[in-house]
Amino acid sequence: MSEEFRDLYYYHQRFHDDDRNGGQNSSTYTQNLQMFNHSSYMGFGEFLHGSTEHNTVTRAFGLTPSTSEAPVMAGGDGDLVGVSETPATPYSSISSSSTEAAGDDDSNKSKKENQQKESVEDGENSSKKEAKAKKKGEKKKQRVPRFAFMTKSEVDHLEDGYRWRKYGQKAVKNSPYPRSYYRCTTQKCSVKKHVERSHQDPSIVITTANNVYDQQNLAALHQPQLPEYGLLQDMIPTFFPKQEP
């Protein structure tokens, strides 16, 4: 995995018997779910505290949060959270967080668009500079909480019930595997994620997603279609707790 992830929490392993075959016969199971911390982002505990609720991650993916109390990620003000104490438990947990402009993906975008528009309209470099200068006056870009999880899979882009459009691909430093950038194409869905394959263990896919879902919009968000081999809830049970009978 890329060096940006510093600390491992849990490690989620998932096998697809036949991903290529529509995943119809695939099976999913979890092994040590490993969580990791993005070095440039806030600690996991911080993430939780910074977030309003335990369901943050659920929201992050636009999934309807469970009504049951999230078990979870309790404790830990620091970089790591104590969940790592129970890694053997299947469905034990998920990954970490990071920060980046809190909820400003769109604002950044529009900012950028405006910037570009300006430069196009003016048709000169000067306008670009102006835009830049203008931007300098604006408040510093904040960070959106992000989190990531590792999945053992043969396919890079895991089916999670959402529609994604790939909007970019970059070579990853120190890794032969590129990183692909996706955005959710569902209306009102502003989630973005990037997916890369671990160069240390090529069988592992690292997915990192932002957390820009507006809680108020949550209800309006689409309900995920059940993919062939399970939802993120299955992959990240700590954040997607199973309903107790």
Partner DNA sequence: CGGCTTTGACCAGCGC
Partner DNA sequence: GCGCTGGTCAAAGCCG
Q: Which residues bind DNA (CB under 7 A)?
A: 2, 4, 40, 105, 108-109, 112-113, 115-116, 119, 128, 131-132, 135, 140-141, 163-170, 172-173, 179-181, 185, 192, 194, 208, 210
Complex with DNA: residue 9 or 164, whichever CB lies closer: 164
What is the rounded distance in angstroms from the CA atom of residue 213 to the CA atom of residue 215? 6
Least Å from the CB of residue 31 to DNA = 26
244: phi then psi, degrees, rounded to nearest 5: -80, 140
Least Å from the CB of residue 103 to DNA = 12
Complex with DNA: residue 85 or 113, whichever CB lies closer: 113
Q: Where are the beta strands (DSSP E) in 91-227?
A: 146-152, 164-171, 178-184, 192-197, 204-210
Complex with DNA: residue 20 or 140, whichever CB lies closer: 140
Query: 143 near 102, Cβ under 8 Å?
Result: yes
Least Å from the CB of residue 227 to DNA = 15
Residue written as token pair 């620091």: 78
Residue 171 carries which DSSP code?
E
Q: In this structure, what is the dihedral angle of CA atoms 204, 90, 238, 164, given to the nearest 10 degrees?
A: 30
**Residue 156 backbone class (left: φ over 0; alpha: ψ -120 to 50; beta: rest):** alpha
Least Å from the CB of residue 219 to DNA = 23
Least Å from the CB of residue 192 to DNA = 5
152: phi then psi, degrees, rounded to nearest 5: -85, 115
Complex with DNA: residue 169 or 217, whichever CB lies closer: 169
Complex with DNA: residue 2 or 34, whichever CB lies closer: 2
